Amino acid sequence: MRARIRTIAPLALAVALTAACGESGSSGSGGGGGGGSQASGDACAPVAGEQLVVLEDDQNLQNADNIIPAVNAEAAQANPALLPALNQVSAELTTDELIDLNAAVEVQRESSEDVAAAWVEENIDTAGLEQGSGAISVGGANFPESATLANIYADVLQAAGFDATVQEVGNRELYLQALQAGEIQVFPEYLATVTEFLDGDESREVASGDVQETVAVLEPLAADAGLVFGEPSEAADQNAFAVTQAFADELGISTLSELAEACGDGSLVLGGPAECPERPFCQRGLEETYGLEFDSFRELDAGGPLTRAAIERGEVSMGLVFSSAGFLAE
């Protein structure tokens, strides 16, 4: 399961619907709402604008869903150059770049193959890659971000001497089985979500907002499953909360803690999917972790066009989006 909802392709729905705003999450305690001076309700009212900005989750409410290469363990052992090549991608890929990649495919309608090739050419020193050989099948899910990442992996592996191809696969249950069986050898994964999936115990949460702690939990789970994982990238695709740039500028805020300090009087309007008010990665988590209070909640979609439009039109103060959404680049 993914630690968020996605309203895109069938794979994403199958992987993510269980975790909209964090079904299995833990919101933590404490809060960022104490302390500073608060603006009036009028000052904290929604502000319309065409440019959206994500407020930093500075208290790590969300789990660390950083992009990380998943590799069949036997393939990694037989091909020593495989993981080092994939780790070069992780070393260079940032969330801002992931947003730009998604924007190029989803907004500018370029192909995932062309976008991936351009990114590799600009960011990877292919001449310096350790060389390997043999056929490698890189799996990709049937939504644009996964397809682009799969093509990036394949292009880098091709430059490292492998005969790398991309194969579209189904939901996580199917593609992890294919990865374990060696039918595909590589897949771009999401750190916290794959950790929770491999753990398999829905009564507890083993991933967290800390990248290295989550990696430490993942490693033995991966070994038991016949998998190895490369280094996590800085790039992450996880629940995030966006406001208009005009709203952020008016209040002088860039983090959720600063929003709580400025608007802790309960004047904010939150937009998101129907389950958001009760979920620990959504409204309940914002209240418990940051001390935020809301005047009202507006039922929209999960990071999709309804939420985006409501934020832009000034109908909600902030809404649930995904941190790598292509429209954030506009």
Domains and CATH numbers, the chain: 10-62+238-329 (3.40.190.120), 67-229 (3.10.105.10)
Q: Are strands 135-140 and 294-299 parallel, antiparallel or unpaired?
A: unpaired
The pTM score is 0.85
Contact in structure between 211 and 66 (CB atoms under 8 Å): yes
Question: Over its length of 330 residues, how does the chain's per-residue pLDDT go in tens digits?
Answer: 333 333 333 333 333 333 434 333 332 333 333 334 444 456 788 999 999 999 999 999 999 999 999 999 999 999 999 999 999 999 999 999 999 999 999 999 999 999 999 999 999 999 999 999 999 999 999 899 999 999 999 999 999 999 999 999 978 888 999 999 999 999 999 999 999 999 999 899 999 999 999 999 999 999 999 999 999 999 999 999 999 999 999 999 999 999 999 997 778 999 999 999 999 999 999 999 999 999 999 999 999 999 999 999 999 999 999 999 999 997
Centre a 10 Å sphere on the Cβ of residue 100 and count the other Cβ atoms it contains. 17
